[in-house]
Chains A and B, each alone.
Chain A
Amino acid sequence: MAQYDFKKITVVPTGNDLIDIVLSRTQRQTPTVIHKGNAISRVRQFYMRKVKFTETNFTDKLSKTIEDFPRVEDIHPFYGDLLHVLYNKDHYKLALGQLNTARNLIKRIREDYVKLLKYGDSLYRCKSLKRAALGRMCTVTKRIGPSLAYLEHVRQHMARLPSINTGAPTILICGCPNVGKSSFLNKITRADVEVQPYAFTTKSLFVGHTDYKYLRYQVIDTPGLLDRPLEDRNIIEMCSVTALVNLHAAILFFLDLSGSCGYSISQQAALFHSIKMMFRNNPVLIVCNKTDLQTLEGLSGEDLKLVMEMKSAALKTIPVSTITDEGVMAVKNAACQRLLDQRSERKMKSKKMPTVLNRFHVAMPKPRDQKERPVCIPQAVLEARAEEAAHEERKTEKDIENENGGAGVYSASLRKHYILADDDWKLDILPEFLDGHNVYDFIDPDILQRVEELEREESAVEEDGGDFEIEDEDFTAEAEKDLQEIRKRKKLLIQKHRIKKSTAESRPTVPRKFDKDRKFTTERMGRQLSSLGIDPSRAIERARSRSVSRKGRKRERSVGGDGSVLSQRPLGEVVPGEGFKDSAQKMKAVTMARNATKKRNKDARRGEADRVIPTLRPKHLFSGKRSIGKTDRR
């Protein structure tokens, strides 16, 4: 039997989406340009193509959807029933029918309009016809919008249905709610179904797979059943009923002995008898679950009787506890074995069997003599096995961990198993740094010895006393004083020179011969010479004898005299307009002027005729914005 794949159904677009898709396709994939001036046949062809193209697209998409969705009659009755239970067969069929009708309508529209277009006489008419055609197709599609939405919904749900192979050997788990069906499924397969204390935790069918004797078995977990007539059942229960009825499987009816599911054994027995007829000839096993809470033997007489009644209808009864794993494997093996047996029986009964059987023959060797030859296991192996069995009570690290709070709380002490010379050292804290050194770099069994050697070395060096130091010739006190004097004088010289150098730009360097500060006097010379230790009298005499006469130097002469060669008047003459009373006053004025300038000139200081900037920082240059340019530099 085929494995149905409901996931492969293409997405069903909504009505508007479908229209958009098809129309945009038409716009993109057909030529878009046509003119009034073109030949009429071209115009007709152009528009006919569009109509045909749109129709094909619509039909294609609708056909695809119709074909993808499974037909309820054609599939396995289990799926048919399941689809009916979940989606209502009628509604489903109706929706698909609507799609089909729409498809036909669109086809009809296209035929009509293409016929009309053949006789269109102008571009405008053809265009209108095309517009009408496309418009009608779109209206049709809009009308089936709700069906499309419903089908999309169905498709999404179908894709999520568990993939149950109707032909594979199956085990079906059923029973009252909360009896432990899902926990059983979790135990035997890798499925991870939610297990909760409230009823109807499982709301749909769940599939797991398990292996037995190299064959894969499907295990289906169903939602719990309540003891109700069929008409009153809700969708969830109907799912499990469908499964029960339609699938050929080994049925495990779960019974809760303790009644902790909320239903007493009598209620469960009633349920069993009401669904008994659904079992038909499927092998049934009664699984008595929750034996950790209540064992089979501990049941009261009435309950036991009920259980026995159920047993008569079934093959076997097996006590099980899913929490302690007791009996779980037994159930699985029993169910699987039963299914296997059934299969082999069926195979044997089929017509093909003899042909197969005739093909092979198992040869059994004839016994040579009557000697018994049992299995031979060496004694040592038997002893080892016995020992192992006895030793299984060893306490493992895992047990210790579990005792002390579990994985997150307890961390195993790795130091316990250290092999050290002295067991007291196991819990020592090992220092890693000391005074900025790594302790591990210094570890050496004979470190002390070497340190001792070092210390001996050190003390030997000290005793040695270092080198002999030959001190150089030392200075006398006088020489020291002289040295200091020399250094002081040198410093002074340097300072003077620096001053001279630094201010040379800002003032005129008067040549030495003018002696502005009166440095070059004989007194000074005398003082300096005597500080050097020489008698200065002779030098002073000599200097004085060689000095310039009182007549004056060239500069002084030129102040008053030769300048008047150019002017034709005598000096004291009063010129009208100058403002002097008489020549005496003028002479006085001239003398005053001369006196004023004489000193200044001798000192080479700035005078009236020298260049002067009256205002160093005129306001118009140093303030205000400029109409063009920057004012970075002022």
Chain B
Amino acid sequence: MRLEFCWFCSSKIYPGHGIQFVRNDAKIFRFCRSKCHKNFKMKRNPRKVKWTKAYRRLHGKDMTKDSTFELERKRNRPERYDRNVMENTLKAIKKIDKIRHDRAADHIAQRWKPKAAKERREARKELEQSISLIKAPLAIQSQEPAITVPKIKVKAPKQQTVEDQLMEE
């Protein structure tokens, strides 16, 4: 049994869900639910449909290139069972998952950063242009400028957590 990915929305298909469509050229399309199936029948391109993973990756909304993805690869060679390897793999999966999640969250946070600067710029412009709504031009000249000295933000180095120390050992 395998967890497959929906062809349309790229979500995971658990056993017992969804529909598999085999075309005459032997290409297999798996769908997680009828929504994706019906979209496919309508010949919609998932890269253009906003809520799919394909769109999000294509338009840079979600993380695409990362070393964690290389660890998860479909291997077609059968491996001889080794209990230790299996144990290690199970532990590793959890860690890799966590790291991948953190990185994806970072990516999204990074996307939001330019917004603050943009907003500030726009506010300044608005202030300049529309000040006449609340203050007559004569009154303004006597006022102080609205601009102040720029500040530089420096991030302090984080304290090494206990976990990391253990890991290094």
A458-477 near B? 1/0 per residue, CB < 8 Å? 11001101101111111110
Partner of B83 from the list A428, A442, A452, A457 (CB cut-off 8 Å) is A428
Name B94-125 residues within 8 Å CB distance of A: 94-97, 99, 102, 117, 120-121, 123-124
Interface segment, B38-46, B56-64, B85-93?
Answer: B85-93
Interface segment, A80-88, A204-212, A327-335, A526-534?
Answer: A526-534
Given contacts A455-B99, A463-B157, contact A486 B3 (CB under 8 A): no
| CB atoms of B157 and A442 under 8 A apart | no
Contacts of B67 in A (CB 8 A): 454, 457
B139 within 8 Å of A (CB atoms):
yes
B167 within 8 Å of A (CB atoms):
yes
A485 to B126 Cα, complex, angstroms: 12
A451 within 8 Å of B (CB atoms):
yes
B25 within 8 Å of A (CB atoms):
no
| CB atoms of B148 and A476 under 8 A apart | yes
B65 within 8 Å of A (CB atoms):
no
| CB atoms of B93 and A439 under 8 A apart | yes
| CB atoms of B93 and A425 under 8 A apart | no
Interface segment, A31-39, A162-170, A429-437, A590-598?
Answer: A429-437
Name A33-63 residues within 8 Å CB distance of B: none
A468 to B73 Cα, complex, angstroms: 36
A396-427 near B? 1/0 per residue, CB < 8 Å? 00000000000000000000001111101100
The interface size of chain B toward A, counting residues with CB under 8 Å, comes to 63
A596 to B33 Cα, complex, angstroms: 73
| CB atoms of A438 and B2 under 8 A apart | yes
Partner of A455 from the list B93, B134, B150, B167 (CB cut-off 8 Å) is B167
The interface size of chain A toward B, counting residues with CB under 8 Å, comes to 61
Given contacts A430-B86, A454-B68, A475-B123, contact A468 B152 (CB under 8 A): yes
A369 within 8 Å of B (CB atoms):
no
| CB atoms of B146 and A482 under 8 A apart | yes
| CB atoms of B75 and A462 under 8 A apart | no
Considering the complex, give the chain B residue whose CB is closest to the CB of A492: B133
Residue among B82, B88, B123 with max Cβ neighbours from chain A (10 Å) = B88
Given contacts A438-B2, A450-B71, A451-B92, contact A474 B148 (CB under 8 A): yes
B27 within 8 Å of A (CB atoms):
no
| CB atoms of A442 and B134 under 8 A apart | no
B135 within 8 Å of A (CB atoms):
yes
A563 to B119 Cα, complex, angstroms: 64
| CB atoms of B126 and A420 under 8 A apart | no
Contacts of A489 in B (CB 8 A): 133-134
Given contacts A479-B127, A489-B133, contact A443 B79 (CB under 8 A): yes
A531 to B139 Cα, complex, angstroms: 11
| CB atoms of A447 and B83 under 8 A apart | no
| CB atoms of B164 and A532 under 8 A apart | no
B23 within 8 Å of A (CB atoms):
no
A440 within 8 Å of B (CB atoms):
yes
| CB atoms of A433 and B167 under 8 A apart | no
Contacts of B85 in A (CB 8 A): 443-445, 447
Contacts of B143 in A (CB 8 A): 478
Partner of B164 from the list A441, A459, A474 (CB cut-off 8 Å) is A459
Given contacts A433-B3, A462-B158, A472-B117, contact A486 B93 (CB under 8 A): no
Further contacts, 14 of them, CB under 8 A, given A439-B93, A440-B2, A483-B123: A420-B80, A425-B81, A428-B86, A430-B81, A432-B2, A434-B94, A436-B12, A438-B72, A443-B86, A454-B68, A482-B146, A489-B133, A531-B134, A533-B138
Which residues on B are within 8 Å of A, measured CB to CB? 1-3, 12, 67-68, 71-75, 79-83, 85-86, 88-97, 99, 102, 117, 120-121, 123-124, 126-127, 130-131, 133-136, 138-139, 143-144, 146-158, 160, 164, 167
Q: List 9 A-B contacts (CB under 8 A).
A: A428-B83, A441-B72, A442-B89, A442-B93, A442-B96, A454-B67, A474-B148, A482-B146, A486-B126
